[in-house]
Amino acid sequence: MENISESIKYVGVNDKTIDLFEGQYVVPNGMSYNSYILFDEKITVFDTVDKRKTDEWLSKVAAALGKKVPHYLIVSHMEPDHSASLTAFLKKYPDVTVVGNEKTFTIAERFFGDVIKNKLSVKDGEELPIGKHTLKFIFAPMVHWPEVMLSYETTEKVLFSADAFGKFGALDVNEDWTSEARRYYMNIVGKYGAPVQTVLKKASALDIKTICPLHGPVLNENLEYYLGKYDIWSSYAAEDSGVMIAYASIYGNTAEAAEKLADILRGKGVKVETADLTRDDMPQAVANAFRYDKLAVACSTYDGWLFPVMEHFLNRIKSKNYQNRKVALIENGSWAPVANKVMRSIFETMKNITFTEKSVTVNSAVNEQTISELTALADELSK
Ligand SMILES: Cc1cc2nc3c(=O)[nH]c(=O)nc-3n(C[C@H](O)[C@H](O)[C@H](O)COP(=O)(O)O)c2cc1C
Ligand SMILES: [Fe+2]
Ligand SMILES: [Fe+2]
C-alpha cells in the first residue's frame, strides 16, 4: 500500500496462508494485519502484527525507519493478531515506550510477563504531542476487548480505529468491502452493539478525513457510508428488506421446502439469501441473518429436538444479540415434528422477535399441501 500521507506510512502485512482467522473464520482471500508508522519528532508505530508475520513486519518497519528509531509503540488492544510481535519488537527497539492504558498493561503482563520496560499509561481523552502531530486517545471498552482504544491524530485528522471498520481479506485482492466487513463485524464485534454506539457518538464529534483500521483497506473517501453501516449494524437495525432462509436438513426434504420458499419469494421480487447450514459458511449465514429484516428457519426434527446445526446457528445469532426481526418457522418430521416449537422457544429468549402468523410443517416430503402453505407464507413475508 502506498503511503497514507507524507508523515504516515503503511507497514502492515498480508497473510495468504492462514486457514482460519481467530481459529474459526475461513478467509478465502487471506487477511491483513495493518500497522502504521507516523514520522515526527517522536516516531510512533501503531500496533504490531500476528506472530505468523513477525519477521516480515519487522523488516518492513526497519526499511521504513532507515537509520531512525521509533519512540512510541501504540497498543490499541492486546488481541494476539496485533500484539503477538510485541516482545520481538521490544527486543529490537529496547528503548521504545509502549503506550496503552491500565487494562492494556495488565493483559500484556498476562501474555508476556514483565517485558515492557517503558510504559506510558494514558486516560480516555488524553492527548499526546509527538511533534507537529498530536494523538488523542479514545477508549472503546468492549469493542470487543476491554482495553481497546482508538487514536485520533488531530493535525491530519486520521482515526486509527483498531479493529473497527476492518474486514476479512488481504489487501492485494480486490473485493467488495461491505460483505466481508459485515461478516467480520457481525461475528467478531456483533455482541457489543451498545459499546460501538458509544464510540460512534464520540467519533461523531471528530472531523475525520482518514480511517486507518487494523484489517482491510485504509478508508479516505465516502466515510459517511462506512460510519452509516456501523451505525446500522451496532443498533441491530436491518440493513436491507428481504428474507434470509437458513435450513438444516438430513436427507434433503427440508432443504427442498426451503429452496421452494426462496423460489416463490424471488418470483415476487423479494431479495432472498439461503444457507444450507451444514455446508455453507456459518458466519456468512449469521451475517445475512442480521442483514435482512426477515429470517425463515427450516429444520428437520431430530431425536425429539433440532438437527444440531440449526441449534448451533440459533445459539450463534443469540450470542450476537439477534433482535428486532420477523421470523418464519418451517419444520419437518416423520412421526412427531417438534422443530418449530423448539425454534420458537429459542427465539422467544431474544429481544423483539415477532413471528409470522403462518408456520409450515412438512410431514417427511414436500407435497401439494406444503407448496400451498409455503405460498401462503411467502405472501405474508412479501407484504
Ligand atoms: C437420527 C434421526 C432422528 C430423527 N428424529 C425424529 C424425531 O424425533 N421426530 C420426528 O418426527 N422425526 C424424526 N426424524 C425424521 C426426520 O425429521 C424426517 O424424516 C424428516 O423428513 C427429515 O427431513 P430431511 O429430508 O430434510 O432430512 C429423525 C430422523 C433421523 C435420521
Ligand atoms: Fe481484535
Ligand atoms: Fe484484529
Residue 270 pLDDT:
98
Ligand lying nearest the CA atom of residue 213: 3
* Domain of residue 184, residue span: 8-234
For residue 304, give the ligand 1 atom closest to its CA.
Answer: 8
For ligand 1, residues with CB inside 6 Å are: 249-255, 300-304, 332-337, 364
Based on the fold, state whether residues 365 and 223 are members of the same structural domain. no
For the chain, the domain total comes to: 2
- Residues 32-72 have pLDDT tens digits of 999 999 999 999 999 999 999 999 999 999 999 999 999 99
- Residues 270-279 have pLDDT tens digits of 999 999 999 9
Cell 491483513 -> residue: 32
Based on the fold, state whether residues 89 and 122 are members of the same structural domain. yes
Average pLDDT score over the chain = 97
Confidence of residue 1 (pLDDT cuts 50, 70, 90): low
Boundary (domain end) residue, out of 167, 199, 234: 234
Residue of 140, 32, 165 whose CA lies nearest to 76: 140
Based on the fold, state whether residues 230 and 249 are members of the same structural domain. no
* Interacting residues of 323 by C-beta distance below 8 A, sequence separation 6+: 236, 350, 351, 352, 353
Phi-psi region of 178 (alpha: psi -120 to 50; beta: other; left: phi over 0): alpha
Residue identifier of the C-alpha nearest atom 21 of ligand 1: 364
The preferred substitution site among 245, 247, 250 for testing ligand 1, maximizing ligand atoms within 8 Å of CB, is: 250
Q: Which helix (H) or strand (E) holds 286?
A: helix 282-291
Please report whether residue 3 resides in a domain: no
Confidence of residue 351 (pLDDT cuts 50, 70, 90): very high
If 0-12 CB within 10 Å is exposed, 13-18 middle and 19+ buried, where does residue 338 land?
A: middle
Residue 318 to residues 151, 299, 322, 324, Cα–Cα distance (Å): 32, 17, 5, 12
The preferred substitution site among 305, 310, 334 for testing ligand 1, maximizing ligand atoms within 8 Å of CB, is: 334
Please report whether residue 317 resides in a domain: yes
Question: CATH number for the domain including 258?
Answer: 3.40.50.360
Please report whether residue 96 resides in a domain: yes
Residue identifier of the C-alpha nearest atom 29 of ligand 1: 302
CA of 101 to the centre of ligand 1 (A): 54
Based on the fold, state whether residues 213 and 272 are members of the same structural domain. no
Please report whether residue 2 resides in a domain: no
Residue 308 pLDDT:
98
Task: State what percent of residues in the chain have pLDDT above 70.
Answer: 99
- Residues 76-94 have pLDDT tens digits of 999 999 999 999 999 999 9
What cell was used for 303? 431425536
Report whether pLDDT(2) > 90: no
- DSSP secondary structure, 132-188, as one string: S-EEEEEE-TTSSSTT-EEEEETTTTEEE-TTTT--SS-TTS---HHHHHHHHIIII
For residue 249, give the ligand 1 atom closest to its CA.
Answer: 26
Report whether pLDDT(349) > 90: yes
Residue identifier of the C-alpha nearest atom 18 of ligand 1: 333
Boundary (domain end) residue, out of 215, 234, 253: 234
Based on the fold, state whether residues 177 and 247 are members of the same structural domain. no
CA of 381 to the centre of ligand 1 (A): 26
Confidence of residue 148 (pLDDT cuts 50, 70, 90): very high
Residue identifier of the C-alpha nearest atom 30 of ligand 1: 302
Based on the fold, state whether residues 156 and 42 are members of the same structural domain. yes
Based on the fold, state whether residues 284 and 176 are members of the same structural domain. no
Q: Averaged over 234-242, what is the pLDDT? A: 98
Please report whether residue 205 resides in a domain: yes
Distance in angstroms (rounded) separating the CA atoms of residues 353 and 333: 25
For residue 254, give the ligand 1 atom closest to its CA.
Answer: 26
Q: Averaged over 230-255, what is the pLDDT? A: 98
- Residues 290-313 have pLDDT tens digits of 999 999 999 999 999 999 999 999
Give the amino acid at 172. Answer: D
Q: Averaged over 28-34, what is the pLDDT? A: 98
Based on the fold, state whether residues 226 and 266 are members of the same structural domain. no
**What's the full length of the chain, in residues?**
383
Question: CATH number for the domain including 55?
Answer: 3.60.15.10
What cell was used for 315? 445459539
Distance in angstroms (rounded) separating the CA atoms of residues 261 and 272: 10
CA of 378 to the centre of ligand 1 (A): 25
Report whether pLDDT(235) > 70: yes
Boundary (domain end) residue, out of 234, 256, 288: 234
Based on the fold, state whether residues 225 and 253 are members of the same structural domain. no
Q: Averaged over 109-122, what is the pLDDT? A: 97
Based on the fold, state whether residues 221 and 249 are members of the same structural domain. no
Instruction: Give helix 177-184 / helix 223-234 axis angle, nearest 10°.
Output: 30
CA of 264 to the centre of ligand 1 (A): 25
Please report whether residue 1 resides in a domain: no
Based on the fold, state whether residues 246 and 223 are members of the same structural domain. no
Based on the fold, state whether residues 59 and 164 are members of the same structural domain. yes
